[in-house]
């Protein structure tokens, strides 16, 4: 059974990531980071999460999870 996240969860996650990125780029309460660093980090995290799905699905299937 595949269950997608609710619209509220997706919206709150996007909002949270956007706020954190804006704070990091503008330097509120921290040293500002270049846009390239923030974008590269977000892009790397997205790619990593996508690739981990290829590992997670067979492992979960073998363990009978989900």
The gap from C-alpha 50 to its chain's centroid, in whole angstroms, comes to 10
pLDDT at residue 26, rounded to an integer = 97
Domain ranges (residues) in the chain: 7-63
What is the sign of the dihedral through the CA atoms of 15, 20, 25 and 29? positive
CB-CB contact of 22 with 16 (8 Å): no
**How do residues 20-56 score in pLDDT, each as one tens digit?**
999 999 999 999 999 999 999 999 999 999 999 899 9
| pTM of the predicted protein model | 0.74
DSSP calls for 6-44: PHHHHHHHHHHHHHHHHHHHHTTTS----HHHHHHHHHH
């Amino acid at each position: 059974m595949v269950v997608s996240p609710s619209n509220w969860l997706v919206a709150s996650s996007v909002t949270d990531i956007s706020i954190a990125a804006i704070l990091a780029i503008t330097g509120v309460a921290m040293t500002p980071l270049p846009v390239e660093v923030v974008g590269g980090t977000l892009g790397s995290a997205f790619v990593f999460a996508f690739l981990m799905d290829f590992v997670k699905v067979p492992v979960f299937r073998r363990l009978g999870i989900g």
